[in-house]
Amino acid sequence: MKNNPIKFGTDGWRGIIAQDFTFDNVRVCAQGVTDYLKQSGLSSRGLIVGYDTRFASEDFASAVAEVVAGNGIKVYLCPRATPTPVISFGVVTQKAGGAIVITASHNPAIWSGFKYKTKDGASAPPEVETEIEKHIAHILATGKINRLLLTEALEQGIVEYLDLAPIYSRQLAKLIDLSELRQAKLKIVVDSMYGAGAGYFKMLLGGGAIELVEINNERNPLFPGIQPEPIAPNLARLSATVVDQRANIGLATDGDADRLGIVDENGRFLTTLQVFALLALYMLEISGERGAIVKTINTSSMLYRLGEIFNVPVYETPVGFKYVASMMMTKNALICGEESGGYGFRSHIPERDGILAGLYFLDLMIKTGKTPSELIGYLYSKVGAHYYRRIDIKFPEPERQAIIERIKHNPPEYIDGVKVVKFDTADGFRFILADATWLFIRFSGTEPVLRIYTESDSQSRLEKLLEFGRGLAGV
């Protein structure tokens, strides 16, 4: 355990199962969190431990519970795979010192992960992760880990099982009229992507007029044929099922159900930027609420236009919900979101919630009487047409610095014949053009992938812009 493979990225630590994501390393992380809780005066509040549907997730969660209990800290252990937003809300209701979630979210099947949620139920901010990493380094140096076998911890009552689903369901019933939703004459296809969100839409919306068709709702840690990220390349089956079933909409949640993907009635994927803008429009126009919008650097300029129309401020953060959550709490934001399909809402938790986001989108359809494709037209009638695309490129890790140097030292003055008016290096490399088009290049914070994003007022320009980005990065 001398070499330290444990580095917290965009949201916690992720590693390849049995390679660096091992029981030994997970126990080190758990001890690091308990040491942080003690240092911060939060240990008396207890800790929630949850997990997703990946290979051996429940066993890794049990290993975490044994270490936390071995340090004399009360553990509320989820009895089954549980969505991250459900766990985050559980932290708030239990007034716990935080939560540890065993999940790699949207990563491929060979990955697992370790997330720490703060006492607010939010993604840990960088300063908290830095403190936990310091404790981890000390533990790796000393090898000191406390542990109490799960059977003994359960007997002593220091670990107890806690089903958070009923608590979460009551919360959502306060935020949205579930009985009205249940009576809507809609046919919905739900794709849980073999993840922890399986069964939640049925639990919340079943028993009424609404018709639910579920796919990929069994546990399969191999995630056959897909990566559990709700973006177009992974939603071919959802699109086909929506068309085949003549459904009104398709909803998909990622591996731990904190992200949402939407397919319209024609089987076409709505981009995450379109969904974010529509959810903001729902909050501002349909619900009549007012408050700040918080967006990551790689989300749509449509949010700025909505801010102008409804006279609300728009704040921008680096990529990563830990930055969004911090800004959300500081500004008491109405809605926040990121390009990867994670959206958070005021009066709930400072965290992404793919399930609640899906319910709000259904309510938008019901309140406006519009299909998803019609809603895009309605949105564009207000903010103008915006088209977006992202490509992900795997690269050999040793080439990372060379890619950075190529972009840093060769910033273009023009892209696709339009002048670059701003070159931003705050989080990757972002080029904003004179016509408000933007191109953004950054490395993934969770896997060896280079992401290139662009948004423009013309669908036909997207491919040229992305190819320009590839050429600039030399990949």
Q: Please write the tens of the pLDDT for every residue from 307-332.
A: 999 999 999 999 889 899 999 999 99
424: tokens are: 């931003």
Q: Are residues 221 and 329 in the same domain?
A: yes
Residue range of the domain that includes 116: 13-166
Residue 275 belongs to a domain: yes
> Given 138, 166, 194, which residue is the final one in a domain?
166
pLDDT at 3: 63
Residue 91, exposed/middle/buried by CB under 10 A (0-12, 13-18, 19+)?
A: buried
> Given 383, 409, 424, which residue is the final one in a domain?
383
- Domains in the chain, number: 3
Residue 400 belongs to a domain: yes
Residue 2 belongs to a domain: no
Residue 418, exposed/middle/buried by CB under 10 A (0-12, 13-18, 19+)?
A: middle
The phi, psi pair for 384, rounded to 5°, reads 85, 160
Q: Are residues 255 and 326 in the same domain?
A: yes
Query: ∠ CA(108), CA(471), CA(433), 5° rounding?
Result: 100
Alpha-carbon distance of 354 to 474, in angstroms, equals: 35
Q: Are residues 85 and 139 in the same domain?
A: yes
**What is the pLDDT confidence band of residue 11, given thresholds at 50, 70 and 90?**
confident
Comparing CA positions, the residue from 342, 335, 347, 336 lying closest to residue 172 is: 347
The mean per-residue pLDDT over the stretch 244-268 comes to 98
Alpha-carbon distance of 417 to 468, in angstroms, equals: 11
Q: Are residues 69 and 111 in the same domain?
A: yes
Q: Are residues 238 and 307 in the same domain?
A: yes
Alpha-carbon distance of 176 to 247, in angstroms, equals: 22
Residue 7 belongs to a domain: no
Q: Are residues 101 and 46 in the same domain?
A: yes
Which residues is 344 bridged to in the sheet? Answer: 336
Q: Are residues 290 and 376 in the same domain?
A: yes
SS3 for 250?
strand
**Torsion sign across C-alpha atoms 124, 128, 134, 138:** negative
Q: Are residues 196 and 136 in the same domain?
A: no
SS3 for 45?
helix
The mean per-residue pLDDT over the stretch 213-230 comes to 96
Q: Are residues 222 and 77 in the same domain?
A: no
> Given 114, 138, 166, which residue is the final one in a domain?
166
pLDDT at 2: 47
203: tokens are: 């639990």
Residue 1 belongs to a domain: no
Residue 8 belongs to a domain: no
442: tokens are: 């950054």
DSSP state of 234: G
Alpha-carbon distance of 79 to 73, in angstroms, equals: 18
Q: Are residues 315 and 414 in the same domain?
A: no
Q: Is residue 1 over pLDDT 50?
A: no
pLDDT of 384-394, one tens digit each?
A: 999 999 999 99
Q: Are residues 58 and 146 in the same domain?
A: yes
CATH code for the domain of 201? 3.40.120.10
CATH code for the domain of 435? 3.30.310.50
- At a CB cut-off of 8 Å and minimum separation 6, what does 271 contact? 388, 389
Q: Are residues 99 and 202 in the same domain?
A: no
Comparing CA positions, the residue from 379, 158, 399, 400 lying closest to residue 273 is: 379
Q: What is the pTM of this model?
A: 0.93
Residue 406 belongs to a domain: yes
pLDDT of 64-90, one tens digit each?
A: 999 999 999 999 999 999 999 999 999
**What is the pLDDT confidence band of residue 5, given thresholds at 50, 70 and 90?**
confident
Alpha-carbon distance of 24 to 27, in angstroms, equals: 5
Residue 5 belongs to a domain: no
Which residues is 55 bridged to in the sheet? Answer: none
